[in-house]
Amino acid sequence: MKKIGFVGVGIMGKPMAKNLLKAGYSIIVYDINDAAVKEVVEAGAKEGKSSKDVAEQSDVIITMLPNSPEVKEVVLGKDGVLEGARSGSIIIDMSSIAPLVSKEISDKAKEKGVAMLDAPVSGGEPKAIEGTLAIMVGGPEETFEEVKDILAVMGGSVTHVGEIGSGNTAKLANQIIVALNIAAMSEAMVLATKAGVEPEKVYNAIRGGLAGSTVLDAKMPMVLEGNFKPGFRIELHIKDLMNALETAHKLCVPVPLSSQILEIMQALKVDEKLRMTTGELSSSMKSLQE
Query: How many Cβ atoms from other residues are within 10 Å of residue 230's Cβ?
Result: 9
pLDDT for 232 beyond 80: no
Residues 6/27, Cβ–Cβ less than 8 Å = yes
Phi, psi of 277, deg, nearest 5:
-65, -45
DSSP code of 210?
T
Mean pLDDT on 37-65: 97
Which amino acid is residue 14, in one-letter code?
Answer: K
Query: Which tens digits make up the pLDDT trace of 6-37?
Result: 999 999 999 999 999 999 999 999 999 999 99
End-to-end CA distance of the chain: 64
| Distance (Å, whole) CA 94 – CA 62 | 7
Annotated active-site residue 171? The verdict is yes
pLDDT for 110 beyond 50: yes
Model confidence at 119, in pLDDT bands (50, 70, 90)? very high
Whether CATH 2.60.40.420 fits 4-163:
no
Query: Which tens digits make up the pLDDT trace of 130-152?
Result: 999 999 999 999 999 999 999 99
Write down the H helix ranges in 43-80.
Answer: 51-56, 68-76
Question: Between helices 166-194 and 199-206, what is the axis angle to 10°?
Answer: 130
Average model confidence (pLDDT) across the chain: 93
| Distance (Å, whole) CA 240 – CA 262 | 10
Write down the H helix ranges in 57-198.
Answer: 68-76, 81-84, 99-111, 124-130, 141-154, 166-194
Between the alpha carbon of residue 7 and those of residues 18, 155, 251, 280, the distances in Å are 13, 18, 31, 36
Kindly report whether the global pTM for this prediction surpasses the value 0.85.
Answer: yes
CA angle 114, 115, 121 (to 5 degrees): 130
CATH code given to domain 169-286? 1.10.1040.10
Model confidence at 288, in pLDDT bands (50, 70, 90)? very low
CA dihedral 136, 53, 46, 65 (to 10 degrees): -30
Report pLDDT for 200.
97
| Distance (Å, whole) CA 47 – CA 28 | 6
Query: Which tens digits make up the pLDDT trace of 177-226?
Result: 999 999 999 999 999 999 999 999 999 999 999 999 999 999 999 999 99
Q: Which of 14, 18, 52, 171 is catalytic?
A: 171
| Distance (Å, whole) CA 103 – CA 93 | 11
Residues 55/5, Cβ–Cβ less than 8 Å = yes
Q: Which sequence spans correspond to the domains of the chain?
A: 4-163, 169-286
Between the alpha carbon of residue 197 and those of residues 46, 182, 193, 194, 241, the distances in Å are 57, 20, 5, 7, 33
| Distance (Å, whole) CA 73 – CA 55 | 14
Q: How far is CA 192 from the centre of its chain?
A: 33
> Can you give the C-alpha Rg of the chain in angstroms?
21
Report pLDDT for 230.
78
Report pLDDT for 202.
97
DSSP β-bridge partners for residue 63: 7, 93
Of 144, 133, 148, 150, nearest to 166 (Cα)?
144
